[in-house]
A = this chain, B = another copy of it.
Amino acid sequence: MLKRTTPVFLTFLYLMGPTSAITMANSAETDAPRSVILLIGDGFDDQHVTMGRNYLAGPDGRLLLDAMPVRGAVQVQTVDNEGRWTYVADSANTATTLATGVVTNIGRVGTGPADEDVMTILEMAASAGYGTGAVSTSSITDATPASFIAHVSKRICEGPETILGGEKYGLPFEGCYEDARGNGGPGSIAEQIMTSPIDVALGGGLIYFSERLPDVQTSLLDTAKDHNAVVITEPEQLTSPIPDDKRLIGLFAPEHLPVRWQGDGGRKAESPDPSWLNLLDWRLGSVDQPAVMSCEPNPEYGKTPSLAALTRVAIERLASATSQGFFLIIESASIDKQSHERNPCGSIGEIAQLEEALQVALEYAGRHQNTMVLVTADHAQAAQIVPEPSLFDDIPVPVYSPGKIARIQLDDGTIMRINYATNNFESEEHTGANVPLFANEKARAYLDPYMRQQDIFEAMGEFLNLNVTHDTDGL
């Protein structure tokens, strides 16, 4: 939300809609349908890509991603609150850059570093008449999808109640005071999604749409019809007939969708166990590595709709509702979330989901040639594939990770060892490597082998003939 001390130039542009900030650059090139499908693997860096390939396809196999004809690298950029470069991002600021072309601070959703609202490519596409959608295995109010739809100063402001601040994990948190409706703002992320033009939003996040302020009788769920939206919460409803002219919001879990896989018995990475002698002198004694882990179905997954199923519904609705084409962002969210929790099986199951969703996207692109399909990550993550055994196994000293280790058994009986050792806390840190980019042939002319996340925004905008040059002089 724009700070009161900031010139309102961009907000003005935003309110003016397509006649000012957005123009159809060249209608001759807009052979309909013309669509962009952007898949984001959250935390899906090359360590995770390789983890996924090794497990799902074998080290001599290929992921569907690997068959994409265009591949490149994308620099992730972040500035701190003083405007200085900082070298590791979060999902909010990176999704905001992909969505708006603006480099911003960690935690920001659709807002620039001066707290200015910045129009997103999804909003620009909607204003230009395209269908728009967002699909995620996270809460649809979570940072990545939210940054394409909403504008708040802090990613935590997901619902009408949380936007006012409160306590989480026993710790107080600040809300987004100026963004709250009671303070004249556009409201929380869930409120903005409800009132936004987005045609399809599918994921988790029911609790944020169910929050009620103490003095309010209704939740956002009760207001859906006022916004031409149908809210569904059961997977079966995905196949019910819902008129094409209705907006569809699907919320299939209280918060994030359960992940497909887990370590056996719910195990995650564990600390190696050095002997007492080794603790006295690192050159002595021995170490027990954690037992080998196999991946198994997560019992909580149940009837959770797959990312591919959600993607299919989103594409079908968008394709039938408009002949112009659409912008759709699809996120496999829990590659990152499971890496934070040191659960490589969880991450790998989410990579499998990303692959399946990509298959659905490529099927559509196969039938509609003017479709740009991009797959990228928002930022790199903690997990590392490390040697099993150590490279220094011949040396008569116990060698082991200072962090946590998972030794995952693959189908052929071999073991892939994953290291999580960025901190001592309950949640791993992100890391700062550039991230991969994969694209279909149609996208090639708009891409370079090396890009910044803001360049991805521009490439998508150019493809959709949107005017994506931000006029930031007024800021």
Q: Which residues of A contact B (CB under 8 A)?
A: 45-47, 49-50, 53-54, 58-60, 62, 66-73, 75, 77, 84-88, 90, 106, 171, 282, 380, 382, 384-388, 390-392, 395-403, 410, 412-414, 416-417, 419, 421-425, 427, 429-436, 438, 449-450, 452
Contacts and interface: CB of A to CB of B under 8 A. Distances in A.
27 contacts: A45-B433, A46-B433, A47-B432, A49-B434, A54-B432, A59-B85, A71-B73, A71-B449, A73-B436, A84-B412, A87-B414, A88-B387, A88-B417, A171-B396, A380-B385, A384-B431, A386-B430, A386-B431, A386-B432, A390-B429, A392-B423, A399-B423, A401-B421, A401-B422, A401-B423, A403-B403, A403-B421
Given A73-B436, A388-B88, A412-B84, A68 B449 contact: yes
Contact of A382 (B69, B384, B392): B384
A60 B77 contact: yes
Nearest to A65: B450
Contacts of A46: 45-46, 73, 380, 433-435
A62 B432 contact: no
A388 B80 CA distance: 10
Given A71-B72, A77-B59, A432-B47, A87 B388 contact: yes
Nearest to A72: B71
A423 B400 contact: yes
A85 B60 CA distance: 9
Contacts of A387: 86-88, 429-430, 432
A424 B282 contact: yes
Contacts of A434: 46, 49-50, 53
A59 B87 contact: yes
Nearest to A449: B71
A118 to B, nearest CB: 18
Nearest to A88: B387
A391 B75 CA distance: 19
A62 B421 contact: no
A106 B430 contact: no
A248 to B, nearest CB: 34
A399 B385 contact: no
Question: How many of these chains are in the complex?
Answer: 2
A422 B54 contact: no
B88 A414 contact: no
B77 A450 contact: no
Given A75-B53, A433-B46, A84 B414 contact: yes
B86 A425 contact: no
Given A84-B413, A85-B59, A50 B385 contact: no
Give me the 7 closest cross-chain CB pairs, A-B, nearest first. A385-B432, A71-B449, A421-B421, A402-B402, A88-B387, A66-B450, A46-B433
A434 B438 CA distance: 14
A426 B434 CA distance: 28
Given A423-B390, A423-B399, A450 B62 contact: yes
Given A73-B71, A84-B414, A86-B388, A47 B380 contact: yes
Given A59-B87, A87-B388, A403-B421, 19 more contacts: A50-B75, A59-B77, A60-B77, A66-B449, A68-B449, A69-B449, A71-B449, A73-B436, A85-B410, A85-B414, A88-B417, A282-B424, A391-B427, A400-B424, A402-B402, A402-B403, A402-B421, A403-B403, A419-B431
Contacts of A391: 88, 90, 106, 427, 429-430
Contacts of A72: 71
A399 B416 CA distance: 28
A199 to B, nearest CB: 33
A155 B410 CA distance: 29
Contacts of A430: 386-387, 391
A50 B47 CA distance: 14
